Amino acid sequence: MLNKEVTIRNATGFHIRPAQLFTEQAAKFQSQVNILVKDQGVKVDGKSILGLMTLGLALGSVIEISADGPDEEKALESLVQLVEGGFGEV
Amino acid sequence: MSQELNIQGLGVSEGIKLGKAFVYSPVRLEDVKDQKTDAPDMEAGLLHTAKAHCLADLDALVARANDILGEEKAVILKGQVSMLNDPSFFPPMEKLIHNDKWTAETAVRMITTQTASIFESMPSEYMRERAADVRDVGSRLLMYVRGRQGSQLSDIQEEVIIVADDLSPSDTVQLDKQFVLGFVTRIGGKTSHTAILANSLGIAAILGAGSGIEQIKDGDLLAIDGATGVCIVNPDAKTIEDMREKMRFQEESRQQLLAYADKAAVTVDGFKVEIAANIGTPEEALGLLGTGAEAVGLYRTEFLFMSRSSMPDEETQFQAYKSAAEAMQGRPVIIRTLDIGGDKELPYLELPHELNPFLGYRAIRLCLDRPNLLVTQLRAILRASAYGNLKVMFPMISGLEEWRKAKGIFEEVREQLRLENIPMAEKIEVGVMIEIPSAALQADRFAKEVDFFSIGTNDLVQYTLAVDRMNEKVSYLYDYFHPAVIRLIKQVIDASDRHGKWTGMCGSMAGDPLAAPLLMGLGLHEWSMSPSAIQKIKRQIINLNRSDCQELAERILDMDTPAEVRAALEASQA
């Protein structure tokens, strides 16, 4: 399993569009993807748009993305890139 | 032949229409009872087939939203697709069927309401509103589980009058507007989503018609009058003839008014004023052709910011302002800088919730605090100024410092663009909106520095009389004929006259025929209104005598109450 901490950089956090882009991307990989929010002590399935949205994350929130499976390296890299790129909104 | 039946509702959008009823009855999650099954495999099969139907529906809706309804709606619909495919949405429904032997209907209701309630408890308003999206997905599933029971707006293929309990924003995505003659709904009022939609599309609408609509059957002939709120079910031959007569009359008066479109607004004794239109999008500027609008007195830029999920960049804004400038072919277009906050929210700006939003962080206050917003907008406006006759005004100015800061930013941006060798208009007038009494009271000071004033009566009345017009308990106090408001308007116009500047008005008072003699008497230079009012106001101005109006205004300025003012104006038009 691989994981990495990233900071939400787009103003809206996981609003519909970013959450939709994230889960769409996560679903392309076989690996199990999870998102952990340490200060809330909550973990959700990274392929669940409902899970992501209900975290209520905003600009500046720190999350840990983890990927576990045969394509974990690629999965983690592309998801981190998506978040750090601000979902094309920054 | 069925009996003729009269239903009375609230007329919220004008238009007399005759057409067939389309009774819209979406399935309701809350009507589903707890029910167990002996055949879980069959129920699970139903659920799977329903999901496939829903995905096909949503695909078609996304494509349609992309084409006509804009990015924002497409995003919401795509989100619904992701919800259907969500591991925490559909699989738990299957579990409820297999493990607990609930029927597919019950499973859909349980998971949908459970998920929606999580959203409903979230602190962000944006997220709370997403509960409606969850319910939409669930209702669609339920409809297919029940074998397509209920009707869908996307099924409409001919001209109809839609009869419904209420219409939600997601319902209206499905509408093919060319087929909609009118709306009749059981609930809803003048400020509801459906009312706003009907008005902006020019669709006749009667809302809040109550339980009477339950008697309307699919395919019944309806005659509706969106002005009076009268809906007649199965009209007899005589009623139909009456309605046709009214439609002819409506068309005739529309034609008669059309004759005033090309006329200049000059009084009998030769005083000319400028008649302008309020718009929210550049497309509306194109629609002004033929209405008689001589300018755009208010271009509300916030719609450009509202119909999307992130800030429009400089290029997007530039394109919009350029199209508005070009559409008006050299005639003036006054662009109001971002007027957001208060009752208008932008989710991506993440504005804090306020107890008193109308007295809070909004409009120019927000823009001066986040100057990047204003700089980007002013760059876009200045670049677009090369393509027409643009003017700029700042909203919610309360004092001279705010104006000077905003004007300072304007000058800096212009200097920067000059350095970049970007073409701009030689001269661009810059003015302030008068919406706050403090600015009206200091109009003489402002007049030395600004190029023009534009009076926004809606806010000016609210702030002068300390009345929230959305509050039904006090809205009776909201009245632009209050003598205090009239005195403020006079001060502003007089101050601009003394300094060789001009005053416009872009609030709803400018489009009120009853107010016209008073505004003429006070010497208002530019009148900006909803495009539908232009010809009526022109016709009236052409028949006014300015010196009579001045006498009337003098008398009105000496009155005590709004009622006296109204009575005097009504008498003058009798």
CATH of domain B268-573: 3.20.20.60
pLDDT at B77 over 70: yes
Q: Which helix (H) or strand (E) holds B46?
A: helix B40-64
pLDDT at B277 over 90: yes
Radius of gyration from C-alpha coordinates of chain A: 11
Lowest mean pLDDT: which of A75-84, B21-30, B103-112, B316-325?
A: B21-30
The whole-number average pLDDT for the span B13-38 is 89
Beta strands in B110-177 (DSSP E): 160-164
**Per-residue confidence band for B344, with pLDDT thresholds at 50, 70 and 90:** low
Check CB contact under 8 Å for A12 and B347.
yes
Distance CA B309, CA A14 (A): 12
Please check whether residue A47 touches B, CB under 8 A: yes
Q: Please, what is the Cα angle at B196 between B192 and B200, to 5 degrees?
A: 170
For the stretch B517-560, pLDDT in tens is: 999 999 999 999 988 889 999 999 999 999 999 999 999 999 99
Residue of chain A with shortest Cα separation from B78: A20
Verdict on whether the full-model pTM lies above 0.90: no
Q: What pLDDT is attached to residue B266?
A: 96
Check CB contact under 8 Å for A12 and B130.
no
pLDDT at B370 over 90: yes
By Cβ distance, the residue of A15, A53, A54 closest to B309 is A15
CATH class of B29-145: mainly alpha
Domain boundaries, chain B: 5-26+154-239, 29-145, 268-573
Residue of chain A with shortest Cα separation from B85: A48
Determine the distance in angstroms separating the CA of B350 from the nearest CA of chain A, rounded to an integer.
Answer: 7
**Per-residue confidence band for B386, with pLDDT thresholds at 50, 70 and 90:** very high
Q: Which two structure tokens, joined as six digits, stand for B91? A: 């699989």
Pairing of the two strands B16-24 and B526-529:
unpaired
Q: What pLDDT is attached to residue B343?
A: 61
Distance CA A26, CA A31 (A): 8
In the CATH scheme, what architecture does the domain B5-26+154-239 have?
Answer: 3-Layer(bba) Sandwich (3.50)
Higher pLDDT, B194 or B161: B161
Residues B281/B307, Cβ–Cβ less than 8 Å? no
CATH of domain A2-85: 3.30.1340.10
Distance CA B452, CA B407 (A): 13
Lowest mean pLDDT: which of B10-14, B375-379, B426-430?
A: B10-14
Please check whether residue A53 touches B, CB under 8 A: yes
Domain boundaries, chain A: 2-85
Q: What is the mean pLDDT of chain B?
A: 90
Q: Among this protein's residues, is A44 annotated catalytic? A: no
Q: Which of 71-90 (B) contact A at CB < 8 A?
A: 75-76, 78-79, 82-83, 85-89
pLDDT at B69 over 60: no
The whole-number average pLDDT for the span B412-420 is 96
Residues of B noted as catalytic: 193, 506
| Residue B279 φ then ψ, to 5° | -135, 165
